[in-house]
Structure 1
Amino acid sequence: MEDNSLVSVIVLAYNQQDSIARTLDSILMQKCRLPIEIVVGDDASTDGTRAVCEDYARRYPDIVRLMPAAPNKGMVDNYFDCMLACRGKYIADCAGDDYWTDPKKLDKEVEIMEADPSVTIVHTNWRTYNEDTHETKDNVVEQFPAPKTDGKQMLEAIITQTTTPVVHLCTALYRAETIKRCYAADTDLFRNKDLGCEDIQTVFMLAINGKVAYMPDVTMTYSIGKPSFSNQCNHAKQFRFVRQTAMLSWLLASRAGIDTGRTRWFFSLRAFELLMHAFRSGDAKLKAVALECMSTWNVKPDRKIKTVLAVMSNTVLWNVMLGVRGAFVALKRFLNLA
C-alpha cells in the first residue's frame, strides 16, 4: 500500500563494504518535510557489505529496510524488486558507491513535486569523484536547464545519451504511482535482463508521462575510476553492456516512433563501438553479433565502420593489428610511468 506521506529511497549494493556506510549516512542526514524509508538491496555481496547494511537496519529499524538475502539477481532484478517494495508516494535512489551532499536534496524535490502534479520526475546537477585519483569535478553539461520541460521533448536525448546522462537517476525523485503503472503495463521493458540497465527506461517512461523538473543545485557525488557495470576492463563484457543498452534505446525509439538524424548517428556510433570491442577482444563471434545489430538498427556502414570491417575480414591482418595495438598501448603505459 502506497503511503502518501513517505519518501522511499532505493540503495543498491554489491561488494561495496568501503562505501555503503557513506551512502547510507548521506541519506540519513536528509532534512525532509516527509519521513523517509531506505530500501536496501544487497545483491549477495561476497565481502562485508551485507554486515554493514545489517548494522544500519538494527540501528535504524524504523527507516532502513534490508531486502531478504537471496542468490545474486543482477542489477536489473535487484532494482525493480526494491522499487516494488517501496511504500512511499515518491521514490529516489542512490547507488552504494555514490552519496548525497545536500541535506535538503529530498525536501527541495518534494516541494516541487507537491506543487505541480504534472511533474513526474525532478532531478539535479552532480559532481564526480575519482576513487583512484581523489579528484572531484563538477558536471558542466546541462542538456535541459529549464526549471520544467515537457518530457516528450527530452525523449530523443534520453535514448541517444552517450557519456553524460540527461537525467542522473541518483539525483532524482519520481512519482511511485507513475512508474509502477508503467511497470505493470509492460513489465518486460523493465525486467528484461538482456536490455542491460534500469535507468534509461525508467527515465524515459517518466518523461513520456509528464513534465521533468530540474534544479541546478549539486546534490550528489558520483563515484568513478573503478570498474563497474558500465565501466568494465574486459572488452567482451563491455561489448555486452554496449549492445544491451543500445538495444534498449532501439526498443524505446521504435515504440515511440523516433527516427531522426540524431538517432541514426547514435546507432551508427554504437555499431562502431561494438566492432571495436570485438576487434580488441579478437573474437569473431562478437563481430557476427555486431553485424546482426547493424542490420537490426538499419545502420549503413560509414568510413570508420568499413575500415574496421576490412581489418577484421582477414584473420592474419586482424592479429597483426592487434599486435600493433598492444605494442602501442604498452609504449604509452611506459611513457606515462617514466
Structure 2
Amino acid sequence: MEDNNLVSVIVVTYNQHDSIARTLDSILMQKCRLPIEIVVGDDASTDGARAVCEDYVRRYPDIVRLMPAAPNKGVVDNYFDCLLACRGKYIADCAGDDYWTDPKKLDKEVEIMEADASVTIVHTNWRTYNEDTHETKDNTIEQFSAPKTDGKQMLEAIITQTTAPVVHLCTALYRSETIKRCYDANIDLFRNKDLGCEDLQIVFMLALNGTVAYLPDVTMTYSTGKPSVSNQCNHAKQFRFVRQTAMLSWLLASRAGIDTERTRWFFSLRVYELLMHAFRSGDAKLKPVALECMSTWNVNPDIKIKTVLAVMSNTVLWNVMLGVRRAFVALKRLLRIVRLS
C-alpha cells in the first residue's frame, strides 16, 4: 500500500562491495521534509556486498529494507522487484556504484512535486567520476534546461539519446502511482529481459504522461571507468547491449507513433554500431542478427553500413582488416605510453 508521507529510494547492486556503503551513506545524509525508506536489491553478489547491506539493515532497521536473497535475476527483474516493493508516494533510485552529493536533493525535488500535480518526474544535473583515474567531470549536455517541459516534447530525444541521457534516472524523483500504472499497462516493456535496461522505458513513460521538471543543481556523481552493463570490454557483449537498448527504443517509438528524420538517423547509426561490434568480435553469427535488426527498424543502408557489410562478406578480407585494426590499436597504445613516459 502506498504511503503518501514517504519517499522510497531504490538501490540495486551487484558485486559492488567497495562502493555500496558510499551509496547508502549518501542517501542516509538526505535532509528531506518527508521520511525515506531505502529498498535495496542485492542481485546475488559474490564479493561480500550483501553483508555490507545487511549491516546497514541492522544499523538503520526503520529505514533500510533488503530484498530477500534470491538467485541472480539480472538488472531488469532486480529493479522492478524493488519498485513494486516501494511503499512511497515518490520513488528515487541510486545505483550501487553512484552516490548523491547534495543533502537537499530529495527535498528540492519533493517541493516541486508537491507544488505541481502535473509533474511526473523531476531530475537534476550530475557529474562523472572515473574510478580508475579519479578524474571528475561536470555534465555539460543539458538538452531541456527549462524548469518545466511538456514531456511529450522530449520523447524523440529520449529514445534517440546517444551520449548523455536526457534524464539521468539516478538524479530523479518520480511519482509512484504514475509509474506503477504504466507498468501494469505495459509489462512487456518493463519486464522483458531481452530489452536490456530499466531506465529508458521509465523515463519515456513518465514523460509521455506528464510534465518533466528540471533543476540545474548537481546532485549526483555517476561512477565510470569500470566495466558495467553499458560499458563492456567484450564486443560480443556490447553488441548484445546495443541491440537490446535500440530494440527498446524501436518499441517505444512504434508504440508512440514516432517516425522522424531523427529516429531514422538513430536506427541507422545503431545498425552501423552493431555491424562494427560484430566485425571487431570476429563472430560471423552476429552479422545476420544485425541484418535482422536493419530489416525490423526499416533502415536503408548508407555507405558506412555497405562498407562494413562488404568487408564482412569475405572471410579472408575480414581477417586481414581485423589484423590491420589490431596493429593500429597497438600502435596507438604504444604512442600513448611513449607520451606519458
**Pairwise same-fold verdict (TM > 0.5):** yes
Aligned residue for 2:122, secondary structure, equals strand
- Structure 1 partner of 2:57: 57
What pairs up with 1:1-338 in 2 under 5 angstroms? 1-338=1-338
Q: Show CA shifts across 1:293-316 (max 9, x none).
A: 000001011111111111001000
* TM-superposed deviation, 1:211: 0.1
Q: Show CA shifts across 1:204-241 (max 9, x none).
A: 00000000000000000000001000000000000000
* TM-superposed deviation, 1:332: 1.1
* TM-superposed deviation, 1:27: 0.1
Distance (Å, rounded) in 2 between the aligned partners of 1:218 and 1:288: 43
Q: Show CA shifts across 1:34-75 (max 9, x none).
A: 000000000000101000000000000000000000000000
The aligned length equals 338
Aligned residue for 1:215, secondary structure, equals strand
CA RMSD, 1 decimal? 0.4
Identical-residue share of aligned pairs (%) = 90
Q: Show CA shifts across 1:124-165 (max 9, x none).
A: 000000000000000001000000000000000000001110
2:207 alignment partner AA: A
Distance (Å, rounded) in 1 between the aligned partners of 2:325 and 2:127: 33
* TM-superposed deviation, 1:188: 1.2
TM-score by length of 1: 1.00
* TM-superposed deviation, 1:334: 1.4
1:22 alignment partner AA: R
Distance (Å, rounded) in 2 between the aligned partners of 1:184 and 1:248: 17
Distance (Å, rounded) in 2 between the aligned partners of 1:244 and 1:210: 26
1:152 alignment partner AA: K
Distance (Å, rounded) in 2 between the aligned partners of 1:257 and 1:98: 34
Distance (Å, rounded) in 2 between the aligned partners of 1:247 and 1:159: 10
* TM-superposed deviation, 1:18: 0.5
Unaligned runs of 5+ in 2: none
1:262 alignment partner AA: R
Aligned residue for 1:284, secondary structure, equals coil
TM-score by length of 2: 0.99
* TM-superposed deviation, 1:335: 1.5
Q: Moved runs in structure 1, 4+ residues, more than 2 A?
A: none
Distance (Å, rounded) in 1 between the aligned partners of 2:186 and 2:312: 39
1:210 alignment partner AA: G
1:216 alignment partner AA: P
Unaligned runs of 5+ in 1: none
* TM-superposed deviation, 1:318: 0.2
* TM-superposed deviation, 1:186: 1.4
